[in-house]
Amino acid sequence: MSTIKTVATNRKAYHDYFLYDTLEAGIALTGTEIKSVRAGRVNLRDSYVRIKDGQAWLVNVHIAPYAAGSRENPDPRRERRLLLHRREIYRWQSAVQEKGFTIIPLRLYLKGNRAKVEIALAKGKKLYDKRAAMAKKEAQRLIERGVKMRRR
């Protein structure tokens, strides 16, 4: 049983999108990038997945340059290839093209000694959807607070 250590989460994704399906994918990283990932220097905000020429690419993820690396450190925002099965790529590509979905990363984690990313098929929320979700969360928070007050 391999251990899972979450390195970075995309908390904004849960607020901005309706999430439909999730998938685990490996990431092709360089040596200094994996060291920086292990140090937790990753930012997933405003990132997404683009499917180009039958391959999935992780776009706009910032992995900070490794401090002890050489001057040959790769660009922090370069596109990184995701390791997925061909049929998974084609299935998700058709959903993006036909139904207007977006593929976004939810979290980046270490599974054993490998870096993995959890990606989701998502559809953007409208402003009124975000307001409704916030109101529901606030109401739930008030209910929880009321239950705690009665117990005292």
* pLDDT tier at 51, thresholds 50, 70, 90: very high
Token pair, residue 3, equals 């251990």
150 in any annotated domain: no
Residue 152 has pLDDT above 80, yes or no: no
139 in any annotated domain: no
- 59-98: pLDDT as tens digits: 999 988 887 776 777 777 889 999 999 999 999 999 899 8
User: Which residue is it, tokens 């092709």?
Assistant: 28
148 in any annotated domain: no
How many other CB atoms are found less than 10 A from the CB of residue 139? 10
131 in any annotated domain: no
82 in any annotated domain: yes
* Structural domain that includes position 82: 4-125
User: Which CATH number do you get for residue 23?
Assistant: 2.40.280.10
Exposure pattern of 84-107 as b/e (b: 16+ CB <10 Å)?
Answer: beeeebeebeebeeeeebbbbbbb
Domains held by the chain: number: 1
